[in-house]
Amino acid sequence: MTQKITPLIAGNWKMNGDAGSFLEVEVIKDHLAANEVNAEVVICPPATLLHRVSVALSESVAKTGAQNCHSAASGAYTGDISVAMVTEAGGEFVIVGHSERRDGYNESNEDVRAKAIAALEGGVVPIVCCGESLEVRESGKAIDVVVEQIIASCPDFTNEQELVVAYEPIWAIGTGKTASSADVDEMHNAIRAALVKRFGEQGAAIKILYGGSVKPANAKELLGVENVNGALVGGASLKADDFWGIISAA
Ligand SMILES: O=C[C@H](O)COP(=O)(O)O
């Protein structure tokens, strides 16, 4: 069931970043130019910085993405951005269904699926997030809940399109706590099996990222787990040295 997949290391800056962040982008760019890396690298800054970061990385192998998008092409959606706007700003990826949006903005699996469909139709790779709360983890139902969430949130896609999945246990996000390798292994295998059941061969090639307090110190171990095909990195993506430490562990 497993096949060789190039890992994806995606940095999610969340609502962080300013003009000074470009120094960090330049450092990453220099590292990528000077070293061979075994990973695809994506930076997802806030929407206001997406174009500038895309321009800064235009000569680099690193790509950019947005942290969210609307499912509609345009219209009266104050504060939102469309997939076409992401593309125009240079973004090639978009994070959809992050737990901070599911919880903070009541985004349902259906909402996330609609955004992922809009992304795919607009030629942007959706990074579809899933993950359980501490309560669910302690109830012993984490695998059932996460598998149901991801299958309901992922739309069908063609062989010409790409879809990425990110598993982020909510209790590990920004807390310094990470899931154990054994728990990550169990969850990623369950997600892989569900994706293969749903999508067949396409499901075997979907990148499944792990997110939740990934740091240079734990990256090698987490990225070495079967069916962990990269990382979705929050806090540690804000500092070039930390982000590079994770990229080079892939
Ligand atoms: O999108 C990234 C995740 O929410 C992980 O954030 P973190 O690395 O700060 O725990």
Q: How much is the average pLDDT of 73-91?
A: 98
Q: Are 219 and 245 in contact (CB under 8 A)?
A: yes
Atom 6, ligand 1: residue with shortest CA distance: 234
The pLDDT assigned to 1 comes to: 47
pTM comes to 0.97
Both tokens of residue 112? Answer: 């996330």
**Nearest ligand 1 atom, CA 235:** 9
User: Is the pLDDT assigned to residue 3 strictly greater than 80?
Assistant: no
- Render pLDDT for 52-71 as a digit per residue (tens, 0 to 9): 999 999 999 999 999 999 99
Buried residues in 34-44 as b, exposed as e (16+ CB within 10 A)? eeebebbbbbb
Q: How far is CA 217 from CA 150, 208, 221, 222, 243, in A?
A: 28, 20, 9, 10, 11
- Render pLDDT for 162-187 as a digit per residue (tens, 0 to 9): 999 999 999 999 998 888 999 999 99
The pLDDT assigned to 19 comes to: 84
Q: Is 156 helix (H, G, I), strand (E, B) or coil?
A: coil
Is 110 an active-site residue?
no
Relative orientation angle of helices 142-153 and 181-199, to the nearest 10 degrees: 40
CA of 232 to the centre of ligand 1 (A): 7
Q: Is 67 in the pocket of ligand 1 (CB under 6 A)?
A: no
The pLDDT assigned to 178 comes to: 83
Domains located in the chain, CATH noted = 8-247 (3.20.20.70)
Buried residues in 88-109 as b, exposed as e (16+ CB within 10 A)? ebbbbbbbbbbbbbbeeeebeb
- Render pLDDT for 114-165 as a digit per residue (tens, 0 to 9): 999 999 999 999 999 999 999 999 999 999 999 999 999 999 999 999 999 9
Q: Is 235 in the pocket of ligand 1 (CB under 6 A)?
A: yes
- Farthest-apart Cα atoms in the chain, separation: 48
- pLDDT category, 2, cuts 50, 70, 90? low
- Render pLDDT for 193-247 as a digit per residue (tens, 0 to 9): 999 999 999 999 999 999 999 999 999 999 999 999 999 999 999 999 999 999 9
Torsion of CA 18, 12, 62, 123, to 10 degrees: -110
Q: The complex's ipTM?
A: 0.99
Q: Is 212 in the pocket of ligand 1 (CB under 6 A)?
A: yes
DSSP state of 57: T
Q: Strand 207-211 to strand 164-167: parallel, antiparallel, or no bridges (unpaired)?
A: parallel
Relative orientation angle of helices 240-247 and 21-34, to the nearest 10 degrees: 30
Q: Is 214 in the pocket of ligand 1 (CB under 6 A)?
A: yes
Torsion of CA 219, 144, 195, 227, to 10 degrees: 20
Both tokens of residue 196? Answer: 């293969």
- Render pLDDT for 5-36 as a digit per residue (tens, 0 to 9): 999 999 999 999 998 899 999 999 999 999 99
Atom 3, ligand 1: residue with shortest CA distance: 234
